[in-house]
Each structure stands twice: as structure tokens, then as C-alpha cells.
Amino acid sequence: MDAVLSRVYPAFSISISYSNISTCENSLSQPIRPPLMARTYMHLLRATNSVGGDKIYPKHLKFAKRNREPQSRNSHPRKGSLNLPRKTDAVNLEVSPHRAVSAVRLMRIELGGAFADLLNEKGKGSGNNEMGYVERTLGFRTRDLDDRDLRLVTDIVGGTIRWRRYLDHLIMSLCHEENMFRGMEPLLLQILRIGFYEIVKLEMPPYAVVDENVRLAKAALRPGAGNLVNGILRKLVLLKEKNSLPLPKLEGNDRAQARVLAILYSHPVWMVRRWTKYLGQEEAIRLMMWNNSNPSFSLRANRRKGFTRDDLMMRLKTLKVPHEPSLHLDDFVRIGTGMQIVIQAGLLKEGLCSVQDESAGLVVSLVDPHPGETIIDCCAAPGGKTLFMASLLSQKGMVSAIDVNNGRLRILKETAKLQGVDDVITFIHADLRIFSEKNPVKSDKVLLDAPCSGLGVLSKRPDLRWNKKLEDMEQLKNLQDDLLNAAALLVKPGGVLVYSTCSIDPEENEKRVAAFLLSHPDFRIEPADGYVPPDFITESGFYFSNPLKHSLDGSFAARLVRS
């Protein structure tokens, strides 16, 4: 955020004459020039991050059915969704590069099913790759991205996704007819969302925002689209200056208030109602505010390479990256900004450290790996916990990393080699439910970091809130039960089974453990005392990190011992 607000924009004067909204509405009916059509759309579909042909799904979706299937060529979420015009100019230096890249990223996320966090990782330091996507999608290139542009892309894309429902309410309110909003081309809508976010949330110089987004709309679509953007954004500027944005009032019954809160804090209505039920309205609002804030990140020093936390802090000090040591874990350092600097300095590429939230590190503390032990990580990829456990074995013992996604498992294998822990990891491509039935192997410790809703990581995964539905929760509960039953088969007598999620929902956490214990009387809860700090231990002896209390990702873990 500081990087955005500190950027100095020149004072642009609007070169396009002001036209009212009704005039701009007519531009939607203008004929569209020959579209990129199938080439562009298939490019967006291919942008769903993949390695070796395998789609890369985040931890909480590994076994779950995807909610949003890529749209077919004859089934589009919005009227005219593929009407992206062909451009003849190879380079357009008048279009703001960070806005062009942001618009294309948002299209890839919404239409192509790409994941925002993976795009951010791929985008940092890869400006040429980003501009290639712009050229293939919009038909032209802009000037190359610099580091400041990439930071802006990350901020704008993440913020626009977080505030999508809020922004869409404002956009629809400034359209004369709801059908105009409902039938708007996706690219045009993304450009408007970017402009609204920059003006309302980032408080960038408003008329510079108007001017640059008008240029993008004209270059990427047609002159009439630029006129529409000009009229709507100018009206937004006037309303914001008068402090009279068209926002709903919090009134009515519980359902009505949930709908209003869903707009004001930009979350799905079902999440608002669920959190209000479990936490109360005040805590639910605080949680949504946390989810909408800029996330902080933690780095874990890789002790396997002899790189200590002190070494990491010294390097961060040299790089002038603000940081502080973790209060809970010896190997961890927390940073608020400067992740791109860390990446460009090569600390991750050299395997000296890795990005890992402290909440995930505390789950490993609950597993409590020791040299000489055999450990099974049942749903290993992307592998943060696998790598941390392996680094604690001191080259004695073995971690078996099982995952159903072969592409993600290959990435884990490459990262393990980079971090120097591949000699104590065995990689197994399998569905845990089938593997446990066919392999009678028993291990000292088994970690099931189960696929879940991810409701504890919404600050880092802004797109996740829009990809989940209430009905998914029931499917996930059944899956979690099946995986727990399968993982239990791999635990030797006297061994330990740790069940964890990155969710804050009791249905996925305490209630899953309770259901498991009813059908597995040979397991009992071992309290988390002595494994994690007391502040993280619940009354039932479970580990739980609360985003509002601990300023970490939300996560849960139970340590279960077999008789």
C-alpha cells in the first residue's frame, strides 16, 4: 500500500470532453471490430497455471471438485465476453503497463480459472512474460514493466479481487440500468473495477486514473468503450468528492443485514451469515476487515543449508527489507513488505529460505519431528510442511510425501532438491484413500493437512472467497472424513496422527475430529501443551491460530495418539 501511495503521478488534464452516462450507454451498442475470439479465449484457459499438463490446485482444493469450470466457447458468463478486438499496433506506449497487465490478470482469474497467488509469484520479476500475455490477449504491448509497476499490479489485482462485490455495487449504481451492468463485456468490467478501486480505495489522483483507464478501454476495446469509462469514472469522482457514494444502509432483519454487510465488506452472503452465527456480527466484521487488509508474510530460514535466522535477518537488513523475528518459532522472520526484493536477491532460488506462514510452522511443531522417525505427509503438495519436517530430521529418518497431483509433486521434488532435503523425502503419486488400503506400511507419525475451504487464508487468497459455495462445505466434510479414515491406517500402534486445516470453521475442525474419534476408539486426543505456545491452545487441547488474535493465517490442528 505504501508503495502505491508514494507513487507520484503527473497532473493529467482530461483530453476527452465530458459526456453524461446516458450518452455513454449508447456506446455499448456500437459495432465491435473483428475479435480475437477463440485464440484469445483459449489463451486465457491455458493460463490456468499448469506444470507438465497437470493443473495446479491450492491445498484446499486438491481433492475437491472445482466450483468454476472454464467456460466453453458457447457458454459465457457475460454477454460479449469474447468480443476482444484485434489490434494492428504492436506497441502502444500511451497505455499504462500496470493497468494493462492488471486487466489481463483479472481476466485470467475470472475467465481462465487461474489463481491470484500463483500469478503473483510468476509475475514478480518476469515482466516480459506478463507483457506476452497482454499482447496475446489484447493484441498490443505497452512499455516493459519495472519493479514499481509489478508492485502496483500485485496491489491492484489483489485489492480489486478483495473488493469485487463492493466495486460491482458502485458500478451498477452508476449505470442507469441493471441490464447494462449485467451484460457488460468482462474486459470492460475489469477496467472499470480497476478505476473504481484506484479512486475509492487507493485514493490515487482521480483524473489521472480516469485518463489512463479511458486510454486502456479505447486501445483494448473501442472508442465508445473509452467514452463509457470516462463518463462513469467522472461521475464516481464527483460523488466521492461530495462524500455521497451510493452505499446501502445497515438495517432490516438478519438476512437483510447480512446482504448489506456482504456489499460493504465484499464477501459472499453465505460467509457473512455463517460467521455472524459462530462469531457474532462485530467479530464477523472484524474478520472481514482482516481479510481485506494487505497480508504480511513470513520467511523460514533453511537450517539444512546452515542458514540461520540470524543470517536471514542480516541479509534482510542489507536489502533494507523491514522485518522482525517470529515470537513463536526460532527459524521464522516476519516481513510486511519487500517480498519482491527478497525474490530478486535470490534467497528463495538459492534454497536459503522459503515463504511459509508461522501458522503452518506451528502445525509442524505439533507433529514434533525427530531424527530417525518415519513420517507420512498424506496431502503433501505444495510441500511447505514437508520441507520443514525434512529439515528437522538431520539426515536421519524419512518423510513420505503423498499427493494426488503429479504436477505439484514434481514441483515439490524440485524444491526439496533446491533446499537440500531430497535425501530424506520419498515422493509418492497416489490418492491417499487407495494408497492406504493397498500399502500396510505403518509410520511413527502421520500428518494429514486436509483439503479444506481455506477460510483461514482469505487475506492471502483474495480470489478464494468467490470460488466457494455453501454447498461445498458438505462435500469437504465428507472428503475430510474419508481422508482421516485413510490416514489412520498408516499410523503404527503408539504412533501420532496430526489432522490440520487452514480453516477457521468448526465444521471442518473440531467436529471432524469428534466424528473421527467416535468411529476410532483406539485413538485419543493428546493436548497440544508443550508443542505450541499456550496462547494457541484451545480448551479442548487443540492448536488454533486466530487471525484476529494472533495476526496470522487461521489454522487448526489436532494431535491424536493411537493406543
Binding residues for S-adenosyl-L-methionine: 379-385, 403, 431, 449
- Which three three-digit cell numbers place residue 371? 531424527
- The candidate with the shortest Cα–Cα distance to 23, out of 232, 254, 209, is 232
Residue 61 sits at φ, ψ, to 5 deg, of -120, 10
- The candidate with the shortest Cα–Cα distance to 140, out of 187, 179, 85, is 85
- Please say whether the beta carbons of 424 and 398 come within 8 A: yes
- Per-residue b or e along 525-542, where b marks 16 or more CB atoms closer than 10 Å to that residue's CB: ebebeebbeeebbeeeeb
Q: Is the peptide bond before 382 cis (omega within 30 degrees of 0)?
A: yes
In the residue annotation, 502 being an active-site residue is answered as yes
- Please say whether the beta carbons of 399 and 373 come within 8 A: no
- Please say whether the beta carbons of 78 and 193 come within 8 A: no
- Per-residue b or e along 441-463, where b marks 16 or more CB atoms closer than 10 Å to that residue's CB: eebbbbbbbbbbbbbbbbbbbbb
Q: Render 224-256 in DSSP notation, one character per residue.
A: HHHHHHHHHHHHHHHHHHTT------S-SSHHH
- DSSP, res 47: T
Which runs of consecutive H residues, i.e. helices, occur in 280-405?
281-291, 309-318, 339-344, 358-367, 384-391
Residue where the block lists cell 460467509:
271
Show Cβ contacts of residue 77 under 8 Å, excluding neighbours closer than 6 positions. 71, 110, 111, 186
Which is the catalytic residue, given 175, 378, 452, 502?
Answer: 502
Which runs of consecutive H residues, i.e. helices, occur in 47-163?
97-110, 116-123, 127-138, 147-162
Q: What is the rounded CA–CA span in Å between residue 327 and residue 337?
A: 18
The amino acid that residue 95 corresponds to is V
Residue where the block lists cell 538459492:
350
Return the active site residues: 502
